[in-house]
Chains A and B, each alone.
Chain A
């Protein structure tokens, strides 16, 4: 699957299938600090992501505005 990360923006290819929770664990990301978006839809931790998916992992922590 194609994984899009932000701040700074970069992309990774990760082999599926894999749950959202496992993907975040593999990338060492805290679930409290991000949202996972497939297409334009939020996906929770138990959803299985497939090789063909494009997912954005969007950070939610902000320190400035």
Chain B
């Protein structure tokens, strides 16, 4: 098998593009796809300051690397979630990546800085771990971006993530979430702009990018996410993709081109009027924002071991949540 571009030995075949690439041209392909996504969806303007949410997994590390390669002004941020060895390993991978390249990294630790962790929050609130995890990440990335004068928060959501969330939101007709499932969420009401520059890349492609670039990432699955609905949607979509390459791309980008607008009114209506949290100032329809309520309920409880938290039964895929991205 030869590289479609240079005819040298290929290392990967991408059937959805009817192309094979050597290492060098796979890297170029990935950078070009990210540049196209940023351009097409007006994600980042030249000179803007970008905060990239980093977990230590393949997508966020590939995203950070590509944004740096493309010349953007990027700083990383990672959150210690307290999910046992998995979190320890993830943080170590992220710190090593940043230190090896001399890149700035912001680090927040839920237990040290706010008095709780994800397993403990799951036990105290009696909700799935992904709920407390997603809420914590969204709040803390927003806060760090606003406090640090960042123009935009970039996350590592890839094509598989977006197609899986879209499948979940469609299966259950979560029209409010469908109206918000966009590659760019503009800055509004005290929220920073959020962008997903990897939406044109599958996770097989981002993983290949990391292997070729020599980026050491966390391969292990989050123990809190094992068996969740989001993973089953991905498996189902990959079965379809195997028989009909390009289906995931057509599903997601067809939605953006032909259907997403139709759900905007419901998303806007559901958002409602927002005031400021009386404790932290974050936008909220209530007196206290959801994050401050979570901290109030869970801080100070003794840590709950990961093993004691049962596997989650997701209650539905939500736009921007439940995919597990930092």
Stretch at the interface among B169-177, B237-245, B253-261, B289-297: B237-245
Tally B residues with Cβ within 8 Å of A: 47
- A10 on interface, CB distance cutoff 8 Å: no
Residues B231 and A63 in contact, CB atoms below 8 Å apart: yes
Known pairs A30-B238, A30-B239, A32-B242; A65 contacts B326 (CB<8 A): yes
Residues B130 and A62 in contact, CB atoms below 8 Å apart: no
The docked-state distance in angstroms from the alpha carbon of A32 to that of B10 is: 17
Number of A-B contacts (CB under 8 A): 99
**In the assembled complex, how far is the CB of residue A45 from the closest CB belonging to chain B, in whole angstroms?**
6
Which residue, of A32, A33, A35, A46, has the highest number of chain B Cβ atoms within 10 A? A32
Residue of B nearest to A31 (CB): B242
Q: Which residues of A contact B202 (CB under 8 A)?
A: 32
Residues B222 and A63 in contact, CB atoms below 8 Å apart: yes
Q: Quick one: which of B1, B57, B239 contacts A62, CB cutoff 8 A?
A: B57
Residues A63 and B225 in contact, CB atoms below 8 Å apart: yes
CB 8 Å contact bits of A36-62 with B (1 = contact, 0 = none): 010011111111000000000011111
Tally A residues with Cβ within 8 Å of B: 25
Q: Quick one: which of A41, A61, A64 contacts B160, CB cutoff 8 A?
A: A61
Known pairs A35-B207, A44-B11; A64 contacts B59 (CB<8 A): no
Kindly identify, within residues 123 to 137 of chain B, every residue whose CB is under 8 Å from any CB belonging to chain A: 130, 133
Q: Which residues of B contact A32 (CB under 8 A)?
A: 202, 204, 238, 241-242
Residue of B nearest to A37 (CB): B211
Chain B interface residues (CB < 8 Å from chain A): 1, 10-13, 20, 23, 55-60, 90, 130, 133, 156, 160, 202-204, 206-208, 211-212, 218-222, 224-226, 228, 230-231, 234-235, 238-239, 241-242, 323-326
Known A42-B12, A44-B1, A61-B203; 7 more pairs at CB < 8 Å: A33-B204, A62-B57, A63-B221, A63-B222, A64-B222, A64-B228, A65-B57
